[in-house]
Structure 1
Amino acid sequence: MEFCDECGSMMKTEDGTWVCGSCGYEKARDSGSESAMVTTQGQEESEIVDTSEVDAEDMGPTTTAQCPQCDNDQAFWEMKQIRSADESETRFLTCTECEHKWREDDH
């Protein structure tokens, strides 16, 4: 990822040039510095964890939360960072009765 030297916006590539979509500033691409950049290409998605065989006491903390499926008022919870680092974490909930899973984001 490259940022504009003029306005700080994220730049995109067009042929052999980095171009700022905000102010139009352009600079040549440098394959040496780009090889050190981290990309999402080739990265594997995190694996899904099966908790069906896990005892309730090993599931983690619980909280008061209304299950949208069975109206139970207790759920196990877990926080995960699924968006960019400058955004808040997402809370994942699992009903203690029916094991329905849902998530809460702040909007």
Structure 2
Amino acid sequence: MEFCDECGSMMMGEGDVWVCKSCGNEQPKGDSASYTTTAAQEESEVIESGAENSGLPTTSAQCPECGNDRAYWYMQQIRAADESETRFFVCTECEHKWREDDH
């Protein structure tokens, strides 16, 4: 799938070109150079094991497993849209996960 550089609309494939049905812009197909990655780019995308929570904010929360008083947290909608989000916690020490629901 391609999007038009001129107007942003979705382009349709016709033979060897992509054609924008909105503005008529044409781009050649098969220009894969814009989609290739270098080895340096691939290496920079690797996330070290155990570092998956490092980007999350922390808060004061008592871990039910080890008693640690700090945890990473995030919120996620897991029920109907008209229900409140669920707060998830991950202990900064033992990485135990638990959740807290609003009642």
Which residue matches 1:67? 63
Indicate the SS of the match to 2:99: strand
From the two aligned structures, give the one with the greater strand fraction: 2
Q: Which position in structure 2 is the counterpart of 1:36?
A: none
In the TM superposition, what whole-angstrom CA distance separates every residue of 1:29-77 from its partner, at most 9, and x where no partner exists?
A: xxxxxxxxxxxxxxxxxxxxxx981427733100000000000000000
**What RMSD, in angstroms, separates the aligned Cα atoms of the two structures?**
2.2
Contact 2:53 2:72 survives alignment (8 Å): no
Q: Which amino acid aligns with 1:87?
A: E
Q: How do 1:1-107 and structure 2 match up within 5 A?
A: 53-55=49-51, 58-107=54-103
Q: TM-score, normalised by structure 2?
A: 0.50
Maintained 8 Å contact 2:88/2:98: yes
Q: How many residues of Structure 1 are paired with residues of Structure 2 in the alignment? A: 57
- Aligned-partner SS, 1:83: coil
The 3 A distance-change label for structure 1 pair 52 and 80 is farther
Cα distance between partner residues in 1 of 2:48 and 2:64: 20
Identity %: 65
TM-score, with structure 1 as normaliser? 0.48
Taking the aligned partners of 2:100 and 2:48, their CA distance within structure 1 comes to 21
Distance, in Å, in 2 between the alignment partners of 1:52 and 1:90 is: 27
Code of the residue aligned with 2:64 in structure 1: it is: P
